[in-house]
Structure 1
Amino acid sequence: MRGLPGRIFQAWMGLSALLVVLFIAIPLAKVLTAPTWDVLLETLSDADVLKSVWLSMSASATAAFIAFLFGTPLAYFLARHQFPGKKVVESLVDLPIMIPHPVVGIALLSLTSPHTGFGRMLQSMGIEIMGTRTGIVAVLFFVGMPFYVNAAKSGIESIAPRLENVSRSLGAGSAATFFRITLPLCWRYMLVGIIMCMARAISEFGAIIIVAYHPMVAPVLMYERFTAFGLKYSQPVAVILILVSMLFFLLLRTLSLPKEKTE
């Protein structure tokens, strides 16, 4: 009798896994196969589409680079130090993953409004957030930062602290130790974090339409074409976004690291 429950459980596990995979794959396959080649080629030669895709890619890359510059020190600090309120800081870093996306746009506009001191300072420097590429990058940085910080933090935690201690005991300073020891050992984690940050940024929509409907990133263009012309003209843009996203996650899987920690 024990064999029958075991087989039933295994069958349920396999069927459940299959249903989840099909639930993801079938709608995406339908979108990928819906446009005709003529419509798809026409979309690929559409200047507005190419411009929006390039804006999505370049703004996401810029946001990921900023996350690398400013998120790496935060990741290192969280990985190497214990302090009161650390869980609060980690929760705050993760918060953009959970909060509704329009809230991100409203929060950024509230901060940079001309009615605030920070907003007036930005205006005095000639920096505009509403309806600009700068605003788009700010949104993408906000939503993508947690993915980079968490990946980089995991990489730094995988390195035995004694390696850094030995480097310092031999006379290397903090900067030399980081660039000669820490960075070479966890650069792949950081690269994975950059890819995850870009992948998350490319998909952003809810905050973008509040902060910068124009210039249009690819998700906003797809939404506009759907509301104006229906599925026929929005599906080809969706195909491009699906393929770009698949490319990013193939890179992510290729760069995935084994779980063992550095000894």
Structure 2
Amino acid sequence: MIKDKSFVLIFLFLSSIIVLFLTIPLIKLFINVGLFGVIDTLKDAEVYNAIFLTIKAALYSVAFVCVTGIPLAYLIARHEFFGKSVLESIIDIPVMVPHTAAGIALLIAFDNGYIGEALSYLGLGFIDTTTGIVSAMMFLSAPFLINSAKEGFKKVDVEYEYVARTLGASHFSTFFRIVLPNSRNDIINGALMMWSRGLGEFGAVVIIAYHPMVAPVLIFDRFNSFGLKYSAPVAAAMIMVSICLFLAVRFVNNRLK
């Protein structure tokens, strides 16, 4: 228990600065647009479709990384091997890369050569497609889920796994019945962070797919074409939908604890 009042007051003052910095722009945006303005904006088919596409693409990217990234996180958390630090660095690189540069790199990698031909053969074109949008979101946000899952696995005592194995449980059974449930909160937090990051992705997406428009690209397009008056309601609508979905997932997760 902290008893030094001056210490607490100083920290409260400093904390209030960052809290106000983070909340004032959102409050001002919603005051400027108004609740009815947000509702009217959501009735616009173009806005609705852009928000729906954004949410759908972000969920697809999270689902793909759950299937591929969680096993990777477990291997990193439980095993020591040559090149492990290099692999962890590779996972973190997308966080540091400028997003437009990431979009160009993805374009070169997946829209040309054998990979581009294979995707086209499978009916998964890259430019101006949902596939390209999902790839951009996934590339730049996957580290959030992988790293969070890795830390969650590290918190689970390996002795639990040894006991389960001695009782006859298979590796898969142990993983799904012991490790995953005990790492659930970290994995869900990582998935939410990844999903949230994907919702806001603009730089890489706009390089790969200007159309169909996701919400961030639509906001940019309206601001560039018509100014603040027409872009602010779209921004407010997207933020409100994101916050509602985020709080709903948090509420369900907390109830399941």
TM-score by length of structure 2 reads 0.89
8 Å CA contact retained: 1:52, 1:218: yes
Residue 145 in 1 paired to residue 130 in 2? no
2:90 counterpart letter in structure 1: L
Structure 1: distance between partners of 2:123 and 2:216? 28
Q: How does 1:1-263 map to 2 (within 5 A)?
A: 10-114=8-112, 116-247=113-244, 249-250=246-247, 255=253
The whole-number CA distance in structure 1 between the counterparts of 2:8 and 2:180 is: 44
Task: Give 1:140 deviation, angstroms.
Answer: 1.2
CA deviation after TM superposition for structure 1 residue 154, in Å:
1.5
Q: Which stretch shifts more, 118-127 or 103-112?
A: 118-127
Residue 169 of structure 2 aligns to a residue whose secondary structure is: coil
C-alpha distance 201-235 of structure 1, shift in aligned 2 (>3 A): same
Give the Å deviation of 1:120: 2.3
CA contact (8 A) 1:79 1:157 kept: yes
Q: Give, in whole Å, the separation in 2 of the partners of 1:47 and 1:53.
A: 10
Q: Distance in 2 between matches of 1:218 and 1:93?
A: 27
Give the residue type in structure 1 aligned to 2:136.
V
1:10 shift after superposition: 5.0
Deviations 1:227-246 (A, max 9, x none): 11111111111112222343
**Rounded Cα–Cα distance in structure 1 between residues aligned with 2:76 and 2:55:** 29
Where 1:207 maps in the other structure, the secondary structure is: helix
Counterpart CA distance in 1 for 2:69 and 2:142 is: 7
* Identical columns (%): 41
Report how far residue 142 of structure 1 moved. Answer: 1.2
From the superposition, tell whether residues 125 and 253 of structure 1 become closer, same or farther in structure 2 (CA, over 3 Å).
Answer: closer
The one-letter code sitting in structure 2 at the alignment partner of 1:91 is S
- Contact kept, 8 Å, 1:196 with 1:252, in 2: the verdict is no
What are the ranges of 5 or more consecutive residues in structure 2 without an aligned counterpart? none
**Partners of 1:196 and 1:214 in 2: CA distance:** 25
Q: How far off is 1:122 after superposition?
A: 2.1
**What root-mean-square deviation, in Å, do the aligned CA atoms of Structure 1 and Structure 2 show?**
2.1
Which range is displaced more, 198-207 or 246-255? 246-255
Structure 2: distance between partners of 1:244 and 1:53? 8
Q: Counterpart of 2:183 in 1: which secondary structure?
A: helix
Query: What one-letter code is carried by the residue in structure 1 that aligns with 2:94?
Result: P
Take 1:195 and 1:203, find their aligned partners in 2: how far apart are those partners? 13
Q: Distance in 2 between matches of 1:168 and 1:41?
A: 55
Shift of 1:90: 1.0
Q: What is the rounded CA distance, in whole Å, between the counterparts of 1:11 and 1:177 in structure 2?
A: 48
Amino acid at match of 1:172: A
Q: Provide the aligned length of Structure 1 versus Structure 2.
A: 251
Contact 1:195–1:248 (CA<8 Å) still a contact in 2? no
Structure 1 residue ranges without an equivalent (≥5): 1-5, 257-263
Residues 95-122 of structure 1: CA deviation (Å, up to 9, x unaligned): 11121111111111010133x2222222
